[in-house]
Amino acid sequence: MALGPRLDLRQSQSLVMTPQLQQAIRLLALSNLEVETFIAEEIEKNPLLEAGAQESEPTPEPAAEGDDFDTEPSLPEIDAGGGDAALDVDQNSEDFHQDSASDAMQGPSSGLGLGEIGGGGGYEDGPDFDSFEGERLSLHDHLKGQAGEILSGPDLAVAYHLIEQIEETGYLLVPLLDLAQRLGHPLGEVERVLSVVQTFDPAGIGARTLSECLALQAKDANRYDPAMARLIDNLDYLAKGNLAALKRICGVDDEDMMDMIRELRAYDPKPGCRFMASDRVDAVVPDVFVTRRGGGWGVELNSATLPRLLVNRSYYNELSAGPQDRQSKAWLNECLQSANWLMKALDQRARTIVKVASEIVTQQEGFFRNGVSHLKPLTLRAIAESVGMHESTISRVTSNKYLSCDRGLYELKYFFTSGIQSNDGGDAASSEAVKSRIKALIAAEEPERILSDDQLVEMLKAEGFDIARRTVAKYREAIGLGSSVQRRRQKAIGRAA
């Protein structure tokens, strides 16, 4: 075989992400308010784009009763995860004066009207309740308030002094012997009062070391068993990653060790820092409205947060008719092409969101009719297969977007939940449904008979939920409910007050 240079021709196929497609995919993951910001930036860059005047839109006629959902997009879906990754764009389109995506998709629909977009309902400006926000409660004031409810006399004076020495992170770094000498009290009394302060909210407050802080939180969560105590006493092994030694010391297997480490990482090493935050929380604005339509449901985009976007054809004609060099003409054509792509991308984004939201309503209709107890296990893959898109596209569509219905405001991700297997062989229950049941059981408990996690497990198993104790504890914490120890203390304080 001769050695030497030569030319070869090869054919290959590849999927290329054009800048326009990348823009369309990026728009999918943005909320309506983020899209508004994005459009404002595009208007600044592109002289052919301008914001149209807001006009009141007629209320859509209620759709006929039925059980079919109707969404008929005229463009292919944006699907970056697989299949044809392209948008159908007509470069010679004469549609230069297109309103926002909500107007572009108004049209006849059948069934329950799930394909309709618009008429999200404009809300008039109300009072700014954030302006009435009071002064944020400091850590020391929060702790002193709890001390005043439990302690009195000399013990209260000692507690106040201890609280004043607690740093912003929640730690007490001043030696207790120095404090006892300064106050003129026996060291044992100061230690006793400190043990009371260490039971205050937030858990872990008043600790003198990281190990003590974690141990206090484990006790507060009713997780401080001998194995957890040994793990907390040997944090240096955990820092070095010596899990084999930790398993021997704690006397547990791999699964239990991983569960213990996950629990430990969920604790707050600086419990006082949550009182240092000063950022105000912005109100959540819904992206999608779900309303009852006869015997079914209507899904609409919140057009109040989608500005009307126009392509100024007259300005384009004026510029193109004047004298231009080659560079200026290319720039003007690029602006026109970019504006057309943005209009079509916004149109497709709206269609895709409504199509996915409609399928979510179809799959979770039991929730919308009867509440969280009827929420079913649902995955991104199930929705993707139903609407003919890729899972990554569904993930983008449901990110940072909220749905408003008569039951409240929910993130679209809320409707995707794991399942808890039924112990009687029936259908699996949604994790959110199990959380709702746990919340109901705890709400109904008597102050003298606080339910432990083990008791909750038995009660849930009696109702058909096959669930472990650790899962119950995880769900209880996820919905903001304390352990049996915390709840008993809170109800004791409530009775005393």
| Mean pLDDT along residues 415-424 | 65
| Mean pLDDT along residues 277-281 | 48
Q: Give the confidence band of 282 by pLDDT, cuts at 50, 70, 90.
A: low
Q: What is the pLDDT of residue 361?
A: 92
| Mean pLDDT along residues 162-168 | 89
Question: Which residue in 437, 457, 447, 451 sits closest to 484, CA to CA?
Answer: 451
Q: What is the pLDDT of residue 16?
A: 66
pLDDT(185) > 60:
yes
Pick from 337, 365, 393: which residue ends a domain?
Answer: 365
Tens-place pLDDT, residues 188-203: 898 999 999 999 888 8
Does 93 map to a domain?
A: yes
The rounded distance, in Å, linking the Cα atoms of 208 and 260 is 22
Domain extent at residue 41 = 19-53+60-121+284-365
Does 262 map to a domain?
A: no
Q: What is the pLDDT of residue 353?
A: 92
**Higher model confidence: residue 13 or residue 333?**
333
Q: Which CATH number belongs to the domain containing residue 436 in this structure?
A: 1.10.10.60
Q: What is the pLDDT of residue 82?
A: 44
Question: Is there a single domain that holds both residue 353 and residue 436?
Answer: no
Tens-place pLDDT, residues 46-76: 888 888 655 444 333 433 333 333 333 333 4
Does 173 map to a domain?
A: no
Q: Could you tell me how many helices (H) and strands (E) the chain has, helices first?
A: 21, 8
Pick from 365, 382, 398: which residue ends a domain?
Answer: 365
Does 189 map to a domain?
A: no
Q: What is the pLDDT of residue 306?
A: 73
pLDDT(40) > 90:
no
Q: What is the pLDDT of residue 119?
A: 35
Tens-place pLDDT, residues 136-160: 678 888 888 888 888 888 888 888 8
What predicted TM-score, i.e. pTM, was given to this entire model? 0.49
Does 268 map to a domain?
A: no
Does 36 map to a domain?
A: yes
Angle at 199 between CA 193 and CA 202, to 5 degrees: 125
Residue with tokens 């002193």: 144
Q: What is the pLDDT of residue 111?
A: 34
| Mean pLDDT along residues 168-172 | 89
Does 186 map to a domain?
A: no
Per DSSP bridges, beta strands 408-411 and 419-420 are unpaired
Q: What is the pLDDT of residue 169?
A: 87
Q: What is the pLDDT of residue 352?
A: 92
pLDDT(490) > 80:
no
Sequence-distant (6+) residues with CB within 8 A of 100 are 52, 303, 306, 307, 308, 309, 346
Q: Percent of the chain beyond pLDDT 90?
A: 10
Question: Is there a single domain that holds both residue 102 and residue 34?
Answer: yes
Q: How many domains does the chain have?
A: 2
Instruction: Tell me, rounded to whole angstroms, the distance of Cα 156 from its chain centroid.
Output: 41
Q: What is the pLDDT of residue 106?
A: 34
Does 289 map to a domain?
A: yes
Q: What is the pLDDT of residue 112?
A: 35
Question: Is there a single domain that holds both residue 115 and residue 36?
Answer: yes
Q: Give the confidence band of 422 by pLDDT, cuts at 50, 70, 90.
A: low
Q: Percent of the chain beyond pLDDT 70?
A: 76
Least confident of 39-43, 75-79, 251-255, 367-371: 75-79
Q: What is the pLDDT of residue 323?
A: 76
Q: What is the pLDDT of residue 15?
A: 66
Question: Is there a single domain that holds both residue 338 and residue 422?
Answer: no
Q: What is the pLDDT of residue 359?
A: 93
Question: Is there a single domain that holds both residue 288 and residue 350?
Answer: yes
DSSP class of residue 465 equals B
Tens-place pLDDT, residues 73-126: 333 444 544 433 333 333 333 333 333 333 333 333 333 333 333 333 333 444
Residue pair 140/202 in contact (Cβ under 8 Å)? The answer is: no
Q: What is the pLDDT of residue 496?
A: 57
Beta bridge pairs of residue 405:
408
* Element (DSSP H or E) covering residue 179: helix 176-183
Tens-place pLDDT, residues 373-404: 778 888 888 899 999 988 888 988 888 889 99
Q: What is the pLDDT of residue 146?
A: 87
Q: What is the pLDDT of residue 278?
A: 45
Q: What is the pLDDT of residue 355?
A: 93
Sequence-distant (6+) residues with CB within 8 A of 150 are 196, 493
Average predicted confidence (pLDDT) for the chain? 76
Instruction: Tell me, rounded to whole angstroms, the distance of Cα 300 from its chain centroid.
Output: 21
In angstroms, the Cα distances linking 283 to 76, 280, 357, 409, 462 are 34, 9, 22, 11, 40
